[in-house]
Amino acid sequence: MADAIQRLVAGGGLQTVFQPIIDGSTGVPVGYEALTRGPEGGPFEPATALIAAAASAGISIALERACLKSALRSFRELQLEGRLFVNLRPQTLLDWRDLARWLAAEAAAHRMDLHDVVLEVTEHGLTQDETALAAAVAPLRALGCDIAIDDLGAGSSGLKTWAAVRPDYVKVDRYFVAGIEQDAVRGEILRSVVDMGRVTGCHIIAEGIENPEQCALVLDLGVDFLQGYLLGRPQRVPRLDAAALAALETVKPGATADCAEHLVRPIPGVPSFMQVAEVVDLFRRNPGWTALAVLESKRPVGLVHRDELLIFLSRPLHPEVYNRKPIASVMTRETVQIEARSRLDQVSRVVTARSSHRQRDDFIITRNGLYLGLGRTIDLARQPRDRHSSVPVDSAPPPLRRLPPRPGSFQGIQRRLRLRARRSSPAARRPGHHAHGAAARGFRRPRRRR
């Protein structure tokens, strides 16, 4: 058996199949997950048998190398659109010391842009040393690869790894999708994962979508991307299920509810290498701009606020020291990033959850991770109340009635947003507005005793 698996891995007898990952708001594939199989009809055809045999023979890294090579080659040959999702075991990331160098050379050989590659780290077998894992993915990120956590919820270390690695994508284990139309608890767990994704700027992918009811329910919960047999099975030449995509049109979030895209202010971003003096000039020529997003490969990596930058440069010698430096050296890296498809009630929860003395009114809006524009808290507070409401539980399709209503009230969220907007207004900072300021902080005048 050991000789057979070694010959298979060394001889290039592996086959790669692809399963589409669908954007729930458009029905368009955002990428494909590469899955490796052994020769059809043989003992190593199932992936589980292939992985177990390689581990037994002590050639796990050789197998992963062969799988990556096959995935890159096949993806390029088929000229598939979108991003390539490939799986890596956590232990492989720790043991394969020259992975970044090898991957860069292999991508160049196949004329692949590594910005189009997403490395999925499965939660099965996750190491307890999350710091070491975060260090292992850093050189891969530097090449342009995005990182995903696969099968979140299948193991015991997923949330710790999420906090340490800061993934760009999280794939929720199919257990939480299977039977979600009958199990309200699974829906609540998935809803919490979606909220965490919004706060951390991470895309959520639901695996195991097998029927229209599951599809409608996970979309209503705010999941970004979908994967499962309903939308397309793993195939050597992937095809989308036309009937399933037609059904998707009727349940897309954008078809029934307003979303963050309505808040977009089309203010251009600036490249991270632009000099500080050039950014200052942009602000001076556009007095209405309060912030600018800082981009790398069209993806936001930070935010620079007009007033903070000008105050910073007003200090002695700061212009001389920083004017020629890249804007990335002075930008704010901790930002709120919202996907354009996010419903307004989700945006409200994220913005209020991140509110602090360090958090400003501007937040970044993206589409599939690419910069779209800026949003402002004051614009969110001005939205009509019914726009913030999600699908009423009583009038929802049968699967949705089984879920409890969303926690928290819209009135409380909107009040906090309005108070924040009022505090940040120029009038609130002018002398003679102390009573207004007290009201903005939530204080009430004491009642006069009779």
Report the amino acid identity of residue 128: Q
Categorize the per-residue pLDDT at 7 as very low, low, confident or very high, splitting at 50, 70 and 90. Answer: confident
pLDDT the model gives residue 136:
93
The 10s digit of each residue's pLDDT in 356-396 is 544 458 899 998 788 999 998 888 877 765 444 444 444 34
Which of 14-28, 78-92, 279-293, 436-450 shows the lowest per-residue confidence on average (mean pLDDT)?
A: 436-450
Q: Is the dihedral of CA 90, 91, 97, 99 positive or negative?
A: negative
pLDDT the model gives residue 356:
52
Which of 18-27, 242-251, 259-268 shows the lowest per-residue confidence on average (mean pLDDT)?
A: 242-251
Categorize the per-residue pLDDT at 423 as very low, low, confident or very high, splitting at 50, 70 and 90. Answer: low
Look up residue 156 and give its DSSP letter: S
Could you tell me the two tokens for 387? 């726009």
How many CB atoms within 10 Å of residue 299?
18
Categorize the per-residue pLDDT at 313 as very low, low, confident or very high, splitting at 50, 70 and 90. Answer: very high
Mean pLDDT to the nearest integer, 42-50: 83
Which of 108-112, 235-239, 277-281, 422-426 shows the lowest per-residue confidence on average (mean pLDDT)?
A: 422-426
Q: Is 2 part of a structural domain of the chain?
A: no
Q: Is 447 part of a structural domain of the chain?
A: no
CATH of the domain at 272: 3.10.580.10
Final residue of a domain: which of 207, 223, 255? Answer: 255
Categorize the per-residue pLDDT at 3 as very low, low, confident or very high, splitting at 50, 70 and 90. Answer: confident
Q: Answer yes or no: are the C-beta atoms of 34 and 98 closer than 8 Å.
A: no
Judged by DSSP in three states, 14 sits in coil
Please tell me the total count of domains within the chain: 2
Which of 238-252, 262-276, 339-353 shows the lowest per-residue confidence on average (mean pLDDT)?
A: 238-252
Mean pLDDT, the chain, whole residue set: 80
Q: Answer yes or no: are the C-beta atoms of 135 and 178 closer than 8 Å.
A: no
Structural domain range at position 156? 12-255
Mean pLDDT to the nearest integer, 265-290: 92
Q: Is 6 part of a structural domain of the chain?
A: no
How many CB atoms within 10 Å of residue 277?
14
The 10s digit of each residue's pLDDT in 93-104 is 999 989 999 999
Q: Is 96 part of a structural domain of the chain?
A: yes
Categorize the per-residue pLDDT at 10 as very low, low, confident or very high, splitting at 50, 70 and 90. Answer: confident
CATH of the domain at 19: 3.20.20.450
Q: Are residues 236 and 221 in the same domain?
A: yes
pLDDT the model gives residue 440:
37
Q: Are residues 301 and 155 in the same domain?
A: no
Q: In this predicted model, which residue has the larger pLDDT, 134 or 405? A: 134
Q: What is the per-residue DSSP string for 248-275? A: HHTT-HHHHS-BGGGG-B-PPPEETTSB
Q: Are residues 18 and 49 in the same domain?
A: yes
Distance CA 331, CA 309 (A): 9
Q: Are residues 387 and 324 in the same domain?
A: yes
Is the pLDDT at 138 greater than 70, yes or no?
Answer: yes
Q: In this predicted model, which residue has the larger pLDDT, 378 or 228? A: 228
